Structure 1
Amino acid sequence: MSTQNTTTSTPATKARPAPRAKLTDTLELDTRLMGMIGAFILVMVVFNVLTDGRFLTPRNIFNLTIQTVSVAIMATGMVFVIVTRHIDLSVGALLATCSAVMAMMQTAWLPQLLGLPLGHPLIPWLAIGAGILTGGLIGAFQGYLSGYLMIPAFIVTLGGLLVWRNTAWYLTNGQTIGPLDSTFQMFGGINGTLGEFWSWVIGIVATLAAIAALWAKRRDKIRHDFPVKPMWAEITLGAIIAGAILGFIAVLNSYQIPAARLNRQFEARGEVMPEGYSAAYGLPISVLLLIVVAVVMTVVARKTRLGRYIFATGGNPQAAELSGINTRLLTVKVFAIMGALCAISAVVASARLTNHSNDIGTLDELRVIAAAVIGGTALAGGIGTIYGAILGALIMQSLQSGMAMVGVDAPLQNIVVGSVLVLAVLIDIIYRRRTGKG
């Protein structure tokens, strides 16, 4: 008996279209970073309105960048410290000690010990080397106390805040030391800029390097069979980065050196300034130094074994130690890096003032921690970015500069900055809770 197969016809089901990906997902953009950039833009727009357009002038943007550098450099190191579940309350005091060492090296110790006359070309570089060595050794010592002797970093660096602040006072007998070497002062900002031509060269090189990095990242993904962004998304992201870099250079190059200052520069060379001559400040050397530090720290965080160990230890210290990571030595290394960065920041801070003063770096420890936290570094450890910390420092400096231009009193400025810090931590907690990233 043959059986006949019968098929029941069912209405054709229409295939559902795949959900369209969000633009931020297509471009693989960090939504938290986008929120920070949006907040930064909002701050600038609000203060620009309140100051009748004075906040976004090339002159103020130039000043804003050189005022941010010192805190931003230390904030990159604070990312490593907080990621490994530590804290450093001594960075402002350590900056003061390094500044005092470098100032005394320039004005007293090198001329007396080596017989180098003031203005000798080796003096600023020997002083900077001594300052970085001092900062690195002090940082390593504090890391040893915390990592090997198991004293909490909070206590070690709280004591360091008092010790190193007053060490700086004794090194200089409480005096202001200066003026510092003219070559040294070039790291301070307005006394050391690249000019219009070399600023464009740096901007173009940075743009090409950023685009090359994007292309290299895409090729690596293709080589390992990872999904890649559409080509239009890559081009869009590259255009945004190029526009940001070259736009920043264009703004700095539009800030013209006053004619009186130019005239003094020509007179110092025994020349006469040509009629109608003009020149722009361009990119400050201190900002270029910050860019170099940011690139180096980012490479360390993402491309080196040390960076992997730092984030692994911050994510789970017990698991990291069981996997063979020497977490005690790692703590020493992290604090040594922090100390060296404090010395580099001391170069920028004292060069900008053209002297060493007793109050240099005061409250910088709070600004540096706030910059790192506002930039997305989790106090619980394991999470943080270098560019986020720099953006956090820029947001904080924008708030302070804007309030100063509006006429807000200094106490109220600190109240606002403190409130912003608490709000930033609250937003970060809510964001990580909702996204499951922390």
Structure 2
Amino acid sequence: MTKTDTDHAPEPAPEPARARKTILQTLEIDLRLLGMVAAFAVLCVVFDIVTGGRFLTPRNIFNLTIQTVSVAIMATGMVFVIVTRNIDLSVGALLATCSAVMAMTQTQLLPNALGLGLGHPLIPWLTIALGLLTGALIGAFHGWLVGYMAIPAFIVTLGGLLVWRNVGWYLTSGKTIGPLDPTFLKFGGINGTLGATASWIVGGLALAAALWGLYGARRNKMRHGFAVKPLWAEAVLASIIAVAILGFVAILNAYDVPVRRVQRLFEARGAVMPEGFTMAYGIPVSVLLLVFVAAGMTILARRTALGRYIFATGGNPDAAELSGINTRLLTVKVFALMGALCAISAVVASARLSNHSNDIGTLDELRVIAAAVIGGTALAGGAGTIHGAILGALIMQSLQSGMAMVGVDAPLQNIVVGAVLVLAVLVDIVYRRRTGDAR
């Protein structure tokens, strides 16, 4: 009997088994972000143990949030600066100049020129507008020197650090300027909060927006034929987001306004405070401002042509220029945006202090750059996230606040911050080598 060709046909190879995804891969959680959250949690637990349970109290968490805002706002802009392969060493000095301009505007310029005294409804908004214009113009000037005159950003902003710190000093003749407008002070945190009810409303709206974002992202993936996460993974992510947002609101609402201050509020209205009445601070206005800035910067980075140009230029400047992107004008825009964010931070910082002082913003350039780098922004350019920079700012402020509560001297605090910055860069380099990212 003769064998046919089919007798010698090789058996079909078995189909390769599908690689099982881990839970983290299924949830599509960034390992770098997860590591930062874990580091922050460990930091908080350690400081809480060392301080005898004082670090994780509602009062300290409230103070930690309002202390973080100023640096976090500037860190969102520093992401764009570093992504385009530049650096800005002048942010602390620029904050001081903007703060000086706004302090002089509301205490001398507007009262003398227009006859508007503190408390007039136009005072804070005209002041902030002039501060934003000042910051944006100075930032644009830095960007012009870098982009069009080809002076390295390190040199331009190092010179700016020296120039603008002392311009601020001359504007105020070295004096502390205050008191500032009551409405202006609401942006500082302690003098401007939403209260318990409004905080729950804002928290609910934030949660609804976050859930709508998850739903929209899933719908877009399905529309374009991309793979989507299983429903249980979406539910887990939604639960984590809900716990984070509502838990944060609950903690801030647990911090009550001192009884004597509440009594003064009732007395100012000609009323008597009821027995056992309490009032919660809730979400500070400055934190709400940070949320709006973060949302705007994230949309700018992910949904606009400018954001795509910024990351394309950081990834490969030559290719970006050959593709038609005006990289010099782009540099001006990025530094102008950085200057405007410095002005917003100046509003928050001076309002928190209730006055302008000449040492305001000192060493903020270190904190802002460290926050961006710890948050995953590559110093080689082309990569970085807004939420990572904000988390980096929170980690930096937690580290400093915890050391202050323990009793660590200020010089040693700066030593630790500097060491953490170097360590963050080292970790970033090792991580990118292992993941095959050349940046």
Q: TM-score, normalised by structure 2?
A: 0.97
Q: Which residue of 2 aligns with 1:45?
A: 45
1:273 matched to 2:273: yes
Offset, 1:57:
0.4
Q: Which residue of 1 aligns with 2:403?
A: 403
Offset, 1:116:
1.2
CA distance in 2, matches of 1:403, 1:293: 28
Q: Which residue of 2 aligns with 1:155?
A: 155
Offset, 1:351:
0.1
Q: Which residue of 2 aligns with 1:256?
A: 256
Offset, 1:14:
7.1
Q: Which residue of 1 aligns with 2:97?
A: 97
1:359 aligns to what SS in structure 2? coil
CA distance in 2, matches of 1:117, 1:26: 59
The one-letter code matched in structure 2 to 1:149 is M
Q: Aligned-residue CA RMSD in angstroms?
A: 1.6
Q: Counterparts of 1:114-153 in structure 2 under 5 Å? A: 114-153=114-153
The one-letter code matched in structure 1 to 2:90 is S
Offset, 1:290:
0.3
Note if contact 2:74-2:341 (Cα within 8 Å) is conserved in structure 1: yes
The one-letter code matched in structure 2 to 1:50 is V
Q: Deviations over 1:348-388 (max 9, x none)?
A: 00000000000000010111001000100000000000000
Identity of aligned residues (%): 73
Offset, 1:273:
1.0
Q: TM-score, normalised by structure 1?
A: 0.98
1:324 matched to 2:324: yes
Q: Which residue of 2 aligns with 1:111?
A: 111
Q: Which residue of 2 aligns with 1:71?
A: 71
Offset, 1:407:
1.0
Deviates more, 1:5-14 or 1:130-139: 5-14
Deviates more, 1:7-16 or 1:202-211: 7-16
Deviates more, 1:293-302 or 1:408-417: 408-417
Q: Counterparts of 1:278-293 in structure 2 under 5 Å? A: 278-293=278-293
Q: Counterparts of 1:9-408 in structure 2 under 5 Å? A: 17-408=17-408
Offset, 1:15:
5.9
CA distance in 2, matches of 1:212, 1:12: 47
1:7 aligns to what SS in structure 2? helix
Relative to structure 1, the CA distance from residue 6 to residue 36 in structure 2 (aligned partners, 3 Å threshold; closer, same or farther) is closer
Note if contact 2:118-2:182 (Cα within 8 Å) is conserved in structure 1: no
Relative to structure 1, the CA distance from residue 17 to residue 5 in structure 2 (aligned partners, 3 Å threshold; closer, same or farther) is closer
CA distance in 1, matches of 2:4, 2:202: 80
CA distance in 2, matches of 1:175, 1:15: 77
CA distance in 2, matches of 1:84, 1:78: 10
CA distance in 2, matches of 1:167, 1:110: 20
Relative to structure 1, the CA distance from residue 11 to residue 424 in structure 2 (aligned partners, 3 Å threshold; closer, same or farther) is same
The one-letter code matched in structure 1 to 2:375 is G
Offset, 1:19:
2.4
CA distance in 2, matches of 1:9, 1:114: 96
Q: Deviations over 1:157-200 (max 9, x none)?
A: 11111111111011111100001011100000110000000100
1:199 aligns to what SS in structure 2? helix
Offset, 1:102:
0.5
Offset, 1:238:
0.8
Q: Deviations over 1:376-424 (max 9, x none)?
A: 0000000000000000000000000001111111111111111111111
Q: Deviations over 1:53-78 (max 9, x none)?
A: 11000000000000000000000000
CA distance in 2, matches of 1:135, 1:230: 46
Offset, 1:258:
1.1
| Structure 2 unaligned blocks of 5 or more | none
CA distance in 2, matches of 1:338, 1:24: 35
The one-letter code matched in structure 2 to 1:428 is D
Aligned length: 438
The one-letter code matched in structure 2 to 1:351 is A
CA distance in 1, matches of 2:217, 2:351: 38
Offset, 1:268:
2.0
